[in-house]
């Protein structure tokens, strides 16, 4: 857990929290940011166990270093630490954090259950993305706005922005599984586990020949088959369709900011621009 904390990545969730809390003088802002990062660390530890990941943030994953059992327990410890922070901070925060943690867990369950499901519908895919990623982005923005003493309308708008931005972010991350560029994780890992993101789901729906489904479900499928998958998905328009879906959710996120005060809207928009690559 400490090794992951020392390689913090972009800290997107805590950055979003601070952006939503622009102008706040709340003395607990850092603890709130640490809380959302603890939840994220927990999800990463458990993700790597579920996905059998061997690396994370440019180094061996926790489960590759100490085994699945200790990595799972470390994830539970992160969840517990986040819960303790929420309880100590009070004001009903423990309930809000518990709901977000439950959403994360539910998203992980959906992810496992849909493995090798070539008929997964887009609404079902979006449900798991909303739980797996959107809920924590929502929590970050909501906590930040609350820390700044925002009214109920601002809290709701900030939460909607976070949830939609999280969905856009996750769809783009699924696109990276087909990328040839360095993405910070072994390319194609999701496909080897039968976890098909938006690009592949769009391609499967458009594939009248059934060739892509046959390839993905072949018991002998391995990394050598990934270029063929990438070719199928790209040629069928799956990658382009997924990018368009991500763009749509990104625009919905920005639209949620329309009624916010200028400093908070500007602050959150700047973070959103960091997340959304120009090439997307």
Residues 6 or more apart in contact with residue 127 via CB below 8 angstroms: 110
> What is the distance between the terminal CA atoms of the chain, rounded to a whole angstrom?
32
Residues 6 or more apart in contact with residue 264 via CB below 8 angstroms: 19, 20, 22, 23, 145, 148, 150, 154, 158, 257
Q: Which residue in the block uniquely carries the two structure tokens 């009903």?
A: 92
Cβ-contact 207, 169 below 8 angstroms: no
Residues 6 or more apart in contact with residue 205 via CB below 8 angstroms: none
pLDDT for residue 279: 45
pLDDT in tens, 1-39: 787 778 877 788 999 999 999 888 888 999 999 999 999
Distance, in Å, from the CA atom of 53 to the CA atom of 159, rounded to the nearest integer, reads 31
3-state secondary structure of 186: coil
pLDDT for residue 187: 59
Distance, in Å, from the CA atom of 144 to the CA atom of 155, rounded to the nearest integer, reads 9
pTM of whole model > 0.75? yes
Query: Residue 126 — pLDDT band, cuts 50, 70, 90?
Result: very high
- Report the candidate in 91, 96, 112, 116 with the shortest Cα–Cα distance to residue 46: 112
Distance, in Å, from the CA atom of 134 to the CA atom of 44, rounded to the nearest integer, reads 15
pLDDT for residue 188: 61
pLDDT in tens, 97-118: 999 999 998 998 998 888 999 9
């Amino acid at each position: 857990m400490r090794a992951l904390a020392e390689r913090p990545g972009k800290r997107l969730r805590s950055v979003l929290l601070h952006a939503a809390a622009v102008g706040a003088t709340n003395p607990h802002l850092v603890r709130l940011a640490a809380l959302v990062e603890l939840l994220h660390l927990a999800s990463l530890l458990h993700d790597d166990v579920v996905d059998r990941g061997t690396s994370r943030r440019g180094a061996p994953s926790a489960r590759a270093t100490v085994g699945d059992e200790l990595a799972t327990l470390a994830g539970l410890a992160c969840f517990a630490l986040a819960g303790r922070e929420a309880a100590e901070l009070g004001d009903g925060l423990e309930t809000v954090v518990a709901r977000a943690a439950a959403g994360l867990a539910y998203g992980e369950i959906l992810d496992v259950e849909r493995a090798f499901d070539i008929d997964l519908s887009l609404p079902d895919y979006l449900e798991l993305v909303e739980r797996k990623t959107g809920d924590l982005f929502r929590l970050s923005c909501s906590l930040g706005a609350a820390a700044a003493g925002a009214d109920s309308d601002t809290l709701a708008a900030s939460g909607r922005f976070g949830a939609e931005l999280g969905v856009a972010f996750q769809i783009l991350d699924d696109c990276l599984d087909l990328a040839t560029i360095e993405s910070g994780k072994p390319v194609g890992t999701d496909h080897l586990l039968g976890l098909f993101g938006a690009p592949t789901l769009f391609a499967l729906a458009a594939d009248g020949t059934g060739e892509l489904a046959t390839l993905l479900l072949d018991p002998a499928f391995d990394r050598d088959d990934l270029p063929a998958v990438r070719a199928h998905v790209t040629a069928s328009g799956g990658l382009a369709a997924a990018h368009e879906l991500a763009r749509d959710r990104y625009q919905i996120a920005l639209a949620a900011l329309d009624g916010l005060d200028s400093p908070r809207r500007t602050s959150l928009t700047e973070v959103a621009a960091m997340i959304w690559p120009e090439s997307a």
